[in-house]
Structure 1
Amino acid sequence: MRAFVVRPLKRTLFVIGATLLVASANARADELIVSAAASLINAFKAIGDAYEQQHPGTKVLLNFGASDVLMQQIVKGAPADVFASADQKAMDKAVAEKVVDPATRRDFATNALVLIVPADSRFAPATLNDLTSADVKRIAFGDPASVPIGRYAQGALQAAGVWDAVNAKSVLASNVRQSLDYVSRGEVDAGFVFATDAAIMPDRVKVALTVPTQTAVSYPIALVEGSRHANDAKAFIAYVLSPDGQAVLAKYGFKPAAGAH
């Protein structure tokens, strides 16, 4: 199994866009291409390995990035068989663009929005309002225009009445893992990520707040229209929804979605 993911520039703070590595258009007949949200990297690598063991004739290629960027790649003709996004809005866009089969759309996991700070930070916010303090200079979150974590964060900050003040300090990330990296390296004072992302760096970051969201943090998955491997793609989706797939997701901190097996 191969995975494709872009690494953030080590010292770049301000990000206005992302160019993601796309799976090769020359994928072999036995290669299943899964485009999945960046927050799914660890879980889907494990799911891909498990799926390959149960389906020895299939190779799973994983393409990770911001959900909206992946959707646009598919719209522009990038090869993909399965699309898994980190929010409903990205999948809604894919449906509107007619690049996924809506009949195959299923929610397969849920997550939580958290505010994290560097592990050695003395900053201990009790509420989102504490982010407006003059002592807080930089706050990382995904670009709301293209990154689900950014949309969830924006909604929470707007509900708390501090969006304008916090947005003025924003360091926009091209995906949730870049936001995590900024905090882990101490390049920002705080950042918004999913709970599952924070859990992979317990020695580098700490969760300051679990943040209520305006909409549930849920992950949908669907078959890409025109897939050359539709049967394998449907089988992969079924595996993600199966007890075995759900157990892998649970291992990486994801919660089950209503309707998942």
Structure 2
Amino acid sequence: MRVSFQRLLKQALFVIGAGMVAVCANARADELIVSAAASLTNAFKAIGAAYEQQHPGTKVLLNFGASDVLMQQIVKGAPADVYASADQKAMDKAVAEKVVDPATRQDFAANALVLIVPKDSQFMPTSLDALAQPGVKRVAFCDPASVPIGRYAKGALEAAGLWDAVNAKSVLAGDVRQSLDYVSRGEVDAGFVFATDAAIMPERVRVAMTVPTQTPVTYPIALVDGSRHAADAKAFIAYVLSPAGQAILAKYGFKPVGTAH
């Protein structure tokens, strides 16, 4: 059964918009707002805490969601100082909309696309072809038009000649963490997430296979144009790229740039 992504997107925009209004109302001069892809949630919470320890005068406010949704929020005036996306296309859109400084854009991590199934599932596909089987009724992923994980999944399915067949079974999620939740609750037969997302629920999901992608799964980060905390934002970006920041990312399963396939 196909879930309306438009409804999910509207809900996401409302929730993020409401959250950003609260952020704006409570923001202080020493608060740095970082808008980052949902798949970075655990790693960036740890990075934010570590950064605050080294910069006791700064409070890092983290805003997570689908990369394209976050970018659109910034375009519409939501406060942000740093933007980190889960693919290059989302950052390309941010550059085209002139909401980030392209001179500060740098790739800082790599990931992998994986196909997961519920932990207790008897279905354990070893190829994408298995998703086209009649017994597979629901497959979770995100809208390729709006969410990076959806773009990676669509590219892989198109390369395998399976896009139409699997898309007909899609249960669209608002972001990669929602796709993970659908699988963990057994609401779908399988789902596409990043390897780092699957790793946070080993007791509820299993990785059936690592899925080759047409483009490497890489994460860019940049300074939001017009940031009122540009110096702090650049320092945060530098910390993410530093050995200390990279060690935290590695702890949560992210790979160094250049190792993505």
Is the 1:14–1:173 contact (alpha carbons within 8 Å) kept by the matching residues of 2? no
% same residue: 80
Cα distance, 1:215 vs. partner?
0.3
Is the 1:13–1:182 contact (alpha carbons within 8 Å) kept by the matching residues of 2? no
Q: In the alignment, which residue of structure 1 is the partner of 2:60?
A: 60
Q: In the alignment, which residue of structure 1 is the partner of 2:152?
A: 152
Q: How does 1:42-191 map to 2 (within 5 A)?
A: 42-191=42-191
Match status 1:25 vs 2:24: yes
Higher helix share: 2
Cα distance, 1:13 vs. partner?
5.7
TM-score, normalisation: structure 1: 0.93
Cα distance, 1:25 vs. partner?
1.7
Q: CA RMSD in A?
A: 1.3
Q: How does 1:34-49 map to 2 (within 5 A)?
A: 34-49=34-49
Cα distance, 1:14 vs. partner?
4.9
Structure-2 separation of matches of 1:115 and 1:180: 10
Q: In the alignment, which residue of structure 2 is the partner of 1:245?
A: 245
Match status 1:201 vs 2:201: yes
* One-letter identity of the residue aligned with 2:159: A
Structure-1 separation of matches of 2:4 and 2:51: 38
Cα distance, 1:15 vs. partner?
4.0
CA deviations on 1:77-132 (whole Å, 9 max, x unpaired) are: 00000000000000000000000000000000000000000000000112101100
Structure-2 separation of matches of 1:218 and 1:131: 26
Is the 1:107–1:258 contact (alpha carbons within 8 Å) kept by the matching residues of 2? no
Is the 2:140–2:190 contact (alpha carbons within 8 Å) kept by the matching residues of 1? yes
Is the 2:128–2:157 contact (alpha carbons within 8 Å) kept by the matching residues of 1? yes
**Unmatched 5+ stretches in structure 1:** 1-11
Cα distance, 1:258 vs. partner?
4.1
Partner-residue secondary structure (3-state), 2:187: coil
Q: Aligned residue pairs: how many?
A: 248
**Unmatched 5+ stretches in structure 2:** none
